Amino acid sequence: MFNRIANLIKGFVGLFIGGIEKKNPEALLEVEKENLRKQISEFNQGLAAHAGLVERLMGQVKKLNKEEDELKAKTKALLQAGQREAAAETALRYKNTDQQHAELAAQLESAETRYKELVRARDVAIKAARDKIESLRRGIDDMKVQKAMAELNEMAAGMVGSLGGSGDNLNRLEEMVEEERSKAAGRARVARDSVDMSGTVIKEAEQKALADMALADFAASEGIALEPKQGTGNSETPPQQGTMGPVSQ
């Protein structure tokens, strides 16, 4: 039962951490970068130790090579001096040194090859990890862009809905304004039609007649003959006397 509870706790913790990671992918990427740096550092430490082994083998090989040359020269000198036994002992040491030199040379070659393989593997692994990190970084940037675009689209969709609602309000307001304007125009027409224009017309005719009489008096006093108005008869001109027929009694 305790195992089941522990599994549930681990599951909840995993879900919680997974949610945090989804919300903060950049932080997770930085953690992976730090882990990569630590792994590279640890690998380089091991590689440095292997490189130290190679250097030590190289030093031993050089030392044996020098010792081998010295034993070879000493063996020749003893043999030429007639010291056969001493020459034989020196020749045996030369042989053992030569075998040891061959073994160390083989170990050095193998260690050097292994070192180069490790360096190449490290470089390949680092390049692959960096390429993956760069790909993830671009993916995160693209995700952020897509997320921002989605949020903008959602905002635009919400704005369209809200604009549609405000459009309905504006339509209702337009109908109200049009209705009030029509009512006001109707009231103005009723008020205009209610005005009595007969008195105004009579007064206008009186003013016109008075003006004509004043003009006729002025013309008569000044001896100016007035031309008759167009469309009116010449009622002021006396009829001409002509030949009349006999009047019947």
Residue 152 main-chain phi, psi, to 5 deg: -65, -40
d(CA 198, CA 223): 37
- Which helix (DSSP H) or strand (DSSP E) does residue 11 occupy? helix 2-23
69-78 — which CB contacts under 8 Å span 24+ positions? Answer: 71/97
Half-sphere exposure of residue 241, counting CA atoms within 13 Å on the CB side? 0
**5-9, 195-199, 239-243: segment of lowest average pLDDT:** 239-243
Mean pLDDT, residues 198-223:
78
pTM, full prediction: 0.46
Please report which confidence band the pLDDT of residue 53 belongs to, taking 50, 70 and 90 as the band edges. confident
The percentage of the chain sitting over the pLDDT mark of 90, rounded to a whole number, equals: 0
What is the tens place of the pLDDT at every residue in 156-206?
666 555 555 555 666 777 788 888 888 888 877 777 776 566 666 677 788
